[in-house]
Amino acid sequence: MKEQNDNYFYIPQIKRRNQKAALFKGATIMAIVFSVSFLIFFLVDLGRSGYPAFFQTYVKMEVTINEETVENPYAAVKGKNLKIASRAWLRDLPSEVKQNPTWMNTTREHWVLANSEVDQYVKGKESRTKQNDRDYVDELKEKGFVELKFNTIFLTTGDSKIPENSGIYSSIIGTVMTIIVTMLIAFPIGVMTAIYLEEFAPDNRWTQIIEVNINNLAAIPSILFGLLGLAIFINFFGVPRSSPLVGGMTLALMCLPVIIVSSKASLKSVPASIRQAGFGLGLTKWQIVRDHVLPLAMPGIMTGSIISIAHALGETAPLIIVGMIAFVPDAATSFTDAATVLPAQIFTWAGMPEKAYLERTAAGIIVLLAVLLSMNAGAVYLRKKFERKW
């Protein structure tokens, strides 16, 4: 209170006001810290639950291979071993033997894929393995007969009802095919629309309708594009259900507005003087666009397109509606085959009751996020490298 007299400019509330200001600033910082720490927690949690899926338990055990066990592979391993060996591995044994004829009529030790419950137990997770099987596995472990090997199955097979035999290969192929269709449709149409609206369109009511419509389309929930795909593409045009073709077409329509808006912005940033110079030389509008404006706008267009394609890559809801969550063990070979995509595979696995699918789901997510983040990083790099300030 004494200060009041010393300083003519003293405002009695200044301390409280400054405190409030600091508090407000603190709140804004807290919001950022919240988002960032959520992201870190989220990524760490995913990494922790997905990392083990990249390794799979193998057990060294005696396998008898003869005429009889090729007929009935479940007889190839005996007793307790049968309870820990993977049924999928045994099922594939006859075809393995066909490839390695020297295995015929031998009884020797092989590294056999363990089933998912044993695998979970070895990784120290919750498992439904019975106590005496656990003891047996512990015993084998002490002998050095149990090993965690890098999981190639996860990257080379498709979906399976047997957890240890399931992988993301077929869904990755499905994703690639779907995205190819999306790109082939969305990119040319999007860029053409942007060129029309930015360079050719007269400023009339119809053009305005198109522009407003594009803005609205960008904010329509993605699941409604799925309804469109189902009603128009599948039921009306007769495109095969679950195929990369119909999925790609649906996603293309979803990507279109984003590509159009970013391409338009990119075309707009090319200065008018370039166009005027072209007109001065007697070029037509199309010649100017093709030879001068478009090449200059290309980096921006590419950046926008990559970001929107990356968004489509992670999209699930419309694809579920057009049937791309079908159980697809083998990779699709044509654009009209039934296929599944990585996000849909993640969705399917997340709903599985077996615990072993959980880590595979997380591992699938890690793969998906790695792809998406590198695409986005690539787009940002493109923008940084080729961005021109006029």
The residues in 229-288 that bind other proteins, with binding defined as CB under 8 A, are: 230-232, 235-238, 253, 256-257, 260, 284-286
Question: Which C-beta is closer to other proteins: that of 144 or that of 353?
Answer: 353
Question: Which C-beta is closer to other proteins: that of 104 or that of 192?
Answer: 192
Task: Pick from 192, 274, 277, 370 the residue near other proteins by CB under 8 A.
Answer: 192
- Residue 32 φ/ψ, nearest 5 degrees: -65, -45
Contact map string, positions 6 to 35, toward other proteins, x by CB under 8 A? -----x-----xx-xxxxxx-xxxxxx-xx
Per CB under 8 A, 347 contacts other proteins: yes
Q: Write down the least CB distance from residue 358 to other proteins, Å.
A: 7
Per CB under 8 A, 221 contacts other proteins: yes
Task: Pick from 82, 298, 317, 352 the residue near other proteins by CB under 8 A.
Answer: 317
Q: Write down the least CB distance from residue 96 to other proteins, Å.
A: 34
What is the rounded CA–CA span in Å between residue 384 and residue 8? 53
Per CB under 8 A, 196 contacts other proteins: yes
Per CB under 8 A, 346 contacts other proteins: yes
DSSP string, 49-89: HHGGGGEEEEEEEEEEESHHHHHSGGGSS-THHHHHB-HHH
Per CB under 8 A, 45 contacts other proteins: yes
Binding footprint of other proteins, residue count (CB under 8 A)? 90
Question: Which C-beta is closer to other proteins: that of 104 or that of 231?
Answer: 231
Task: Pick from 201, 296, 298, 352 the residue near other proteins by CB under 8 A.
Answer: 201
Q: By the 8 A CB rule, do 262 and 308 touch?
A: yes
Question: Which C-beta is closer to other proteins: that of 148 or that of 352?
Answer: 352
Q: Write down the least CB distance from residue 123 to other proteins, Å.
A: 17
Q: By the 8 A CB rule, do 129 and 118 touch?
A: yes
Compute CA distances 161 → 66, 167, 275, whole Å: 28, 11, 61
Cβ within 8 Å of residue 1, ≥6 positions away: none
Query: Quick one: which of 279, 300, 299, 302 has its CA closest to 289?
Result: 279
Per CB under 8 A, 51 contacts other proteins: no
Query: Quick one: which of 333, 374, 327, 329 has its CA closest to 347?
Result: 327
Per CB under 8 A, 390 contacts other proteins: no
Q: Write down the least CB distance from residue 131 to other proteins, Å.
A: 26
Per CB under 8 A, 325 contacts other proteins: yes
What is the rounded CA–CA span in Å between residue 178 and residue 173? 9
Per CB under 8 A, 343 contacts other proteins: yes
Per CB under 8 A, 208 contacts other proteins: no
Q: Write down the least CB distance from residue 234 to other proteins, Å.
A: 10
Task: Pick from 81, 372, 382, 383 the residue near other proteins by CB under 8 A.
Answer: 372
Q: Tokens standing for 212?
A: 């407003």
Query: Quick one: which of 292, 338, 300, 298 has its CA closest to 319?
Result: 338
Per CB under 8 A, 351 contacts other proteins: yes
What is the rounded CA–CA span in Å between residue 348 and residue 353? 11
What is the rounded CA–CA span in Å between residue 239 and residue 229? 9
Task: Pick from 299, 306, 361, 363 the residue near other proteins by CB under 8 A.
Answer: 361
Q: Write down the least CB distance from residue 298 to other proteins, Å.
A: 17
What is the rounded CA–CA span in Å between residue 80 and residue 90? 14
- Residue 388 φ/ψ, nearest 5 degrees: -125, 130
